[in-house]
Structure 1
């Protein structure tokens, strides 16, 4: 659904009432006879595409909607074309009379739009909803880098970390949540973390580890242990175990494929992926 609309008598109540309750509305008074209006319309088109989730650009053509334009112009005290009126929750919050540059419009919008970290966090939640965990992690991490003291960002990032088996990171984030901020969402994530940690020490992994301890030269046992460790989310331990196998025999079974698959499963830019990619290169070349 587009966030650029033409304002008419039929949709004005919907746009200036209901829509402005959910999003910031930029009401543009426009005339095709004005070169300044045409130039500003082009700028607004680009801005609308950049803020699709949080902004609606509603253009009122003062040439074709003269009665409506006259009524609104009288209400706001319109004195020039183009004029841009920002509305939030049904009320005007800012007015920019006369031609405005892209920079000027964006500066005015930033006062009323969600902050960059809030938009990134929402995008992370959207990615999480469709099970795109690595994209969700990247976006939530960007939000965290902007505002590392925001408890909601930390909780969402911790939730994502659990789902991509970065349990140490999730635990570290939860430990920074103050008592006052430990709400139902916090308790839910904490419970998820405890279950994930229990799965990391399953009887199967204990038995496989015992086999490796008893037979240190058994490369097949090490590969089996690495597979189980990876499935339990212990990716670093799995990579370390597989690297020991590859260091002994670079072409042993599916060890190299499993190693590369684990690296590929890590989020873009993950330090662990870079570390173990370098380790592999050190024995390849």
Structure 2
């Protein structure tokens, strides 16, 4: 029976000691005693394969065809099929007879086989997660290391610019965005540029408390409503900002030549099409338009 993974192989009388006994001093070897006529054996094969592959080389699986290898069957006193035996340091240390659920097999292996270390996280994905969680400094540190190895990574550059912008380095952020080449990431680039725009605008506006006071005195103060939304966007208070912009658009869609509508679209770019707020407010904007 041919195998399609280096961790699984057939063992015969001629090579059992070399492939199982000797290898088990380095890596635990699970031996599957099976036969062509044994339906439960065949049912267990994909389970054993999946488990073995999951250990990524920390466990090997040797398959013994009992019809062809009667010497091995007699040597280990195999009396029923399927029988599965775990060898470690040259000795059988555990095993079972009869079909078993995956959880039971894993429980047998756990004391004897070391799980492989988790795969290293992709640095860009790690930085994206940190940024989304508001851990800007940590995200920036990951991106600096990544960009030191590849300073042409467009997505990393864009996210790095957003980190810089979040801590007020707007000029430097702009320079980083200008270094992004190609059209492969238009949406992400548009979002980063929108963020820069909001932060720049917010720096020139009255503070939030003053704007809220103006709106409390006059809920129809369109300028205060728009400026409050920009301040909220600069603080990543996206839900409140989108709500305010939509209400402004519904109340006065011609305010500043359609500025509320334009800004809503910029926020959609900033958050990305998959963001739940974008899905919600696109639908609300469509309803308001039509």
TM-score normalized by the length of structure 1:
0.50
1:161 aligned to which of 116, 129, 133: 129
Match of 2:10 in 1: 6
Structure 2 CA distance for partners of 1:218 and 1:167, relative to 1, 3 Å? closer
Taking the aligned partners of 2:60 and 2:243, their CA distance within structure 1 comes to 53
What is the correspondence of 1:126-275 to structure 2 with a 5 Å cutoff?
A: 128-129=121-122, 131=124, 133=125, 161-162=129-130, 164-167=131-134, 192=141, 200-204=166-170, 207-213=200-206, 216=224, 222=230, 226=233, 236-238=236-238, 240-249=240-249, 252-253=261-262, 255-256=264-265, 258-259=267-268, 262=271, 264=273, 273=276
1:64 aligns with 2:64: no
Per-residue CA deviation, residues 209-242 of structure 1 (Å, 9 max, x unaligned), is 22343864667x949x95xx5xxxx7x4355434
Per-residue deviation at 1:107?
0.8
1:112 aligns with 2:109: yes
Per-residue deviation at 1:64?
2.8
Structure 2 CA distance for partners of 1:258 and 1:16, relative to 1, 3 Å? farther
Which is richer in helix? 1
Structure 2 CA distance for partners of 1:88 and 1:280, relative to 1, 3 Å? farther
- Ranges in structure 1 where 5+ consecutive residues have no aligned partner: 137-158, 172-188, 267-272
Is the 2:24–2:87 contact (alpha carbons within 8 Å) kept by the matching residues of 1?
A: no
Structure 2 CA distance for partners of 1:92 and 1:256, relative to 1, 3 Å? farther
Match of 2:35 in 1: 31
Structure 2 CA distance for partners of 1:211 and 1:20, relative to 1, 3 Å? farther
